[in-house]
Structure 1
Amino acid sequence: MKGLMIQGTASNVGKSLVVTAICRWLRNQGYHVAPFKSQNMSNNSYVTEAGTEIGRAQGVQAEACKAIALPEMNPILLKPKNDRTSEIICLGKSIESLSGAGYRTHFYETGKKAIIESLALLETRFDYTIIEGAGSPVEVNLNDRELVNMAVADMADVPVLLVADIDRGGVFASVVGTLKLLPEAHRKRVKGILINKFRGDPELFTDGVDWLEDYTGIPVLGVLPYTAHEIEAEDSLAIREDKVSSVDNALDIAVIVFPYLSNFTDVDPFYQEEDVSIRYVYRKEELGTPDAVILPGTRSTIEDLEEIRNRGIEDGLLDYIHKGGTVAGVCGGYQVLTNQLIEGDKVIRGMGVFPVTTLFHEVKTTQRTKGVVYSRSGFQSSVVEGYEIHLGEMREEKKLIPLFLLENGEEGAVFDGGRIIGTHLHHVFHNKDFRTEWLNRLRLRRGLSKPGAALLRKDPYDQLAEWLESEVDTDALLNLINNGVRAE
């Protein structure tokens, strides 16, 4: 097939971002492009229009391609349930949960078949497929049955571009070490190197580029500067740093970090609000007295509730709520606020904020949906849209005021005129009108003025494409994609 595979010298070197940038750059050249990652491990997933579930990075990359996200773009998604077991999503549907050893023993052939069929389908529908690897291609203890790096490059018969992160240090050793550990046949697939996250004057790295090219015999196609961006992150390795606003008297929003945090990108829109600071809370003593607390999604609601209870965070949150604090619970963060949680014969006491029982079922709800803010919620009417991924069903112990009226009925709950809200709707704060009103309530309580109208921002995908085009030899890149492993 015509395409390219982006592999990295380690996790979190920027593979996903580079794939996203290449996808939008190619789309802007008029090509029809598909992203692909054979096997992803992340609790931050994406719901397609058809209600199937894939890795969030591939959903975002499909948006960069201006293409409809398909399950074939990420045929295998592993969602960790604990340190040993993961739920397996195959071609968008949950099929079973297995340990790492069980996955390698029992699922390998099924997964390989799904990958091959997915690549074949994408080849018939798109001009190019840009493939993302995972971690490092030289995890030598796993390479006999790997399904995500060079094995996939072989299946697709595409060249490989190796990305290295210079910001973490050791870039020469990471590039050379990776190449040395590759078998000769796979080393020949690596046709280019990208240096990512460079800070400072790139002229100071000219000798470094020359040395890499001389030593490895592989061209360095570009040195990408470190860039701040608005593209959603994929997994917990990429949780953003705390954001400290430069605005005087900025709002302080605390986000509780669950051990099995999922879909944490629900808080990303707050990074674009100039007068909002975001900080992440791991321990009770870090909570303080913020303007609001967000409880995000969790892949293992009961386990994470018990963990924040053991850490004392629950007591701190309840004290904060009783003193008039503002709280928003999203998905699992909503479920922990209920009276009790029931999974089979297991009954766990919840935080008791909402008079609701959460019942967990085997069948997962995965759907995109839209609707309006409920008329009696206390919030102004506005259109909202987002997606749901959850196992829990909420059974009210007494009638609550819902937060939204969605296509599939009433959803969420409101307490004290909107001071406490709960919802299963991911991306709730991506809805600008709702987010603005929620923040304006916090501003009003602090006696702050509402901010002026924000300047129109350039499409973040186009910004990424420009970042790539300004620093990478795109003629060589396109030649590599078109000519495959035979390109020299």
Structure 2
Amino acid sequence: MNGIMFQGTASDVGKSLIVTAICRLLAGEGYRVAPFKSQNMSNNSYVTSDGKEIGRAQGLQAEAAGTEAIVWMNPILLKPRSDQQAEVVLLGETFQTLSGRDYRDTFYEKGIATIKEALSRLEKDYELIIMEGAGSPVEINLKDKELVNMKVAELADVPVILIADIDRGGVFASIVGTLGLLSPRERSRVKGIIINKFRGDSELFTDGISWIEAKTGLPVLGVLPYLDQHMIEGEDSLSLPDRFSLQGKTGLDIAVLRLPYLSNYSDIEPFLYEEDVAIRWVGSNKTFGRPDAVIIPGTKSTISDLTYLRKQGLDQLLIKYLQEGGTIIGLCGGYQMLSRTLIDAEGSDTGTPGKSVPGLGLIPAVTTFYEKKITVRASGSLYKNQEISIEGYEIHLGQTLPENGESLTPFLLLEDNRREGICELNGRVIGTYVHHLFHNDEWRSEWLNRLRSRKGLQTHKPVMLKTLKEQKYDELAERFAPHLDWQTLKEMMIGSGSRC
């Protein structure tokens, strides 16, 4: 197989971003390239055009590669539901919810077979497969049954490049330690090293490069700069503090509740492009303040996270905030929390069938959780202004319906003539199951301008995200390219197939 795999000395060293840049560079040179991550653990997901669910990172990497995202690019997605269990999404569809032990004991062989099939499918349709590992390849307690690092590189028979994050410190030890814990066979597959997130003049690291190459016998194929506010969506919540740094932004203050099982936080990413919008991640009543708007984001465990909000005293603050004229938007799980009552009919949210808990009571509705997950792309328009179109996707269990036949104003009118969500109090409280609501430029601009006008700020023209996104992919590739030994990397990728 022609391709290459990027593995890291730890989580959040920049693997996903580097793979995105490599895909863009290769696509720009005319190659048919596909990203691949055999097993992803993330609640930040992406819905393919056929309504299947994969890791968001692979969806974005496919966009950067100029190709359609498909389930074979991320055949296994693990979505944590608690500290002990995760939903297993297999080839885009819910398979089972398993504990870590059960996953290792019962799923391994099925996982290997699925990964082999995915690699075979991609090899038929693409010239190059750019693979991404997960975490560290030398987690000794997991190494015998891993499905995402060296085992996958062996199945694909591709070279491995090790990425180390110099910004977090300890870069020399992390490289030497990782290589030292690999078996001789695994170690022989590593063909180079990339140093990521370097701040300042890389010429000052020349001695460091020499030491690494002498100590490991491997070439350093790049010293990549630390990219501040690169705007490419992150894979998991580890990167939230850096990505949403306020950096002196003044204007609108939007509070987003930081839930323990936060999912699809890419819903919030568009605000990074708004020069006068500051995002604050709020986890307790002490930091709530007096925001211009509050967003309750999606969650993989709605009732558990609602319990967390209560323990933090945020439930009463939200009720008071709305009563005093505040604006609240609930997205997916956040929408469910707005209800008066939440009923886990099938035990699909809590594991306890029939469990019922009170919601925030901000809308006269009842949310009922069922067993079957809805995963679909959605498009339509605002219910009250059908000239404003909306596109997004739904990933959720259950339904939210008016309580006792009460009349609620829908938020959206979808193309299948389905009324979706709620919009009450002149838009001060909105709930919807449609993710990526704020990625719709006209709607986002209208909503923000209403907040700006209320605060006495100047209104802004819409920021066109689709155009900016393509520019950011290009900028990412352009900023990394001069710092890579690009020719050597390409020779490794293209030459790897000769060994199959």
Counterpart of 1:197 in structure 2 is: 197
Secondary structure of the corresponding residue to residue 364 of structure 2: strand
- Partner of residue 246 from structure 2, selected from 225, 244, 247: 244
Counterpart of 2:402 in structure 1 is: 396
| Aligned mates of 2:64, 2:196 — CA distance in 1 | 20
Find out whether 1:459 has 2:465 as its counterpart. Answer: no
Q: 8 Å contact 2:273–2:463 — kept in the other structure?
A: no
> CA, structure 1 residues 453+330, in 2 after alignment: closer, same or farther (shift >3 Å)?
closer
Counterpart of 1:412 in structure 2 is: 421
Find out whether 1:44 has 2:44 as its counterpart. Answer: yes
The answer for unaligned runs of 5 or more in structure 2 is: 346-353
| Aligned mates of 2:494, 2:3 — CA distance in 1 | 7
Shift of 1:380: 7.3
Q: Which one-letter code corresponds to 1:395 in the other structure?
A: L
Percent of aligned pairs sharing the same letter = 55
Counterpart of 2:59 in structure 1 is: 59
Shift of 1:452: 5.3
Counterpart of 1:363 in structure 2 is: 372
Task: Output the TM-score relative to the length of structure 1.
Answer: 0.97
Q: 8 Å contact 1:343–1:359 — kept in the other structure?
A: yes
Deviation digits for residues 239-298 of structure 1 (CA, Å, limit 9, x no counterpart): 2444326455x1100000111000011111111100111111011111010000010000
| Aligned mates of 1:202, 1:67 — CA distance in 2 | 34
Q: 8 Å contact 2:160–2:192 — kept in the other structure?
A: yes
| Aligned mates of 1:465, 1:382 — CA distance in 2 | 34
Secondary structure of the corresponding residue to residue 239 of structure 1: helix
Secondary structure of the corresponding residue to residue 367 of structure 1: strand
The 5-angstrom pairing of residues 171-190 of structure 1 reads 171-190=171-190
Counterpart of 1:387 in structure 2 is: 393
Q: Which one-letter code corresponds to 2:365 in the other structure?
A: V
> CA, structure 1 residues 483+145, in 2 after alignment: closer, same or farther (shift >3 Å)?
same
Find out whether 1:118 has 2:127 as its counterpart. Answer: no
Find out whether 1:8 has 2:32 as its counterpart. Answer: no
393-402 or 256-265, which deviates more: 393-402
Q: Which one-letter code corresponds to 2:447 in the other structure?
A: W
Q: 8 Å contact 1:246–1:275 — kept in the other structure?
A: no
Q: 8 Å contact 2:445–2:461 — kept in the other structure?
A: no
Deviation digits for residues 368-419 of structure 1 (CA, Å, limit 9, x no counterpart): 11111112xxx67311100100002112121211111112311110011111
| Aligned mates of 1:34, 1:343 — CA distance in 2 | 39
Shift of 1:447: 0.8
Shift of 1:103: 0.4
Shift of 1:30: 0.1
Q: 8 Å contact 1:191–1:485 — kept in the other structure?
A: no
381-390 or 454-463, which deviates more: 454-463
Deviation digits for residues 318-357 of structure 1 (CA, Å, limit 9, x no counterpart): 1111111011110001100011110121111001111111
Q: Which one-letter code corresponds to 2:6 in the other structure?
A: I
> CA, structure 1 residues 358+454, in 2 after alignment: closer, same or farther (shift >3 Å)?
closer
The 5-angstrom pairing of residues 49-88 of structure 1 reads 49-88=49-88
Counterpart of 2:349 in structure 1 is: none
Find out whether 1:427 has 2:436 as its counterpart. Answer: yes
Find out whether 1:331 has 2:337 as its counterpart. Answer: no
Shift of 1:214: 1.2
Q: Which one-letter code corresponds to 2:460 in the other structure?
A: P
Counterpart of 1:296 in structure 2 is: 297
Q: Which one-letter code corresponds to 1:390 in the other structure?
A: H
Counterpart of 1:268 in structure 2 is: 269
The 5-angstrom pairing of residues 276-295 of structure 1 reads 276-295=277-296
Counterpart of 2:95 in structure 1 is: 95
| Aligned mates of 1:7, 1:450 — CA distance in 2 | 45
Q: Which one-letter code corresponds to 2:323 in the other structure?
A: H
Counterpart of 2:21 in structure 1 is: 21
Secondary structure of the corresponding residue to residue 434 of structure 2: coil
Secondary structure of the corresponding residue to residue 275 of structure 2: coil
Shift of 1:453: 6.5
Shift of 1:468: 2.1
Secondary structure of the corresponding residue to residue 359 of structure 1: strand
Counterpart of 1:319 in structure 2 is: 320
| Aligned mates of 1:395, 1:276 — CA distance in 2 | 32
Shift of 1:459: 1.4
Secondary structure of the corresponding residue to residue 195 of structure 1: strand
| Aligned mates of 1:54, 1:380 — CA distance in 2 | 31
| Aligned mates of 1:47, 1:369 — CA distance in 2 | 10
| Aligned mates of 1:50, 1:452 — CA distance in 2 | 33
| Aligned mates of 1:133, 1:206 — CA distance in 2 | 27
Q: Which one-letter code corresponds to 1:151 in the other structure?
A: K
Counterpart of 1:253 in structure 2 is: 254
Shift of 1:51: 0.6
| Aligned mates of 2:187, 2:24 — CA distance in 1 | 28
Q: 8 Å contact 1:251–1:291 — kept in the other structure?
A: yes
Q: 8 Å contact 1:388–1:426 — kept in the other structure?
A: yes
Counterpart of 1:309 in structure 2 is: 310
| Aligned mates of 1:448, 1:245 — CA distance in 2 | 19
Shift of 1:454: 5.3
Secondary structure of the corresponding residue to residue 477 of structure 2: helix
Give me the CA root mean square deviation.
Answer: 1.5
Deviation digits for residues 196-234 of structure 1 (CA, Å, limit 9, x no counterpart): 000011111011111111111101011000013111111
Task: Output the TM-score relative to the length of structure 2.
Answer: 0.94
397-406 or 476-485, which deviates more: 476-485
> CA, structure 1 residues 261+454, in 2 after alignment: closer, same or farther (shift >3 Å)?
closer
Shift of 1:238: 2.1
| Aligned mates of 1:454, 1:231 — CA distance in 2 | 16
> CA, structure 1 residues 89+452, in 2 after alignment: closer, same or farther (shift >3 Å)?
closer
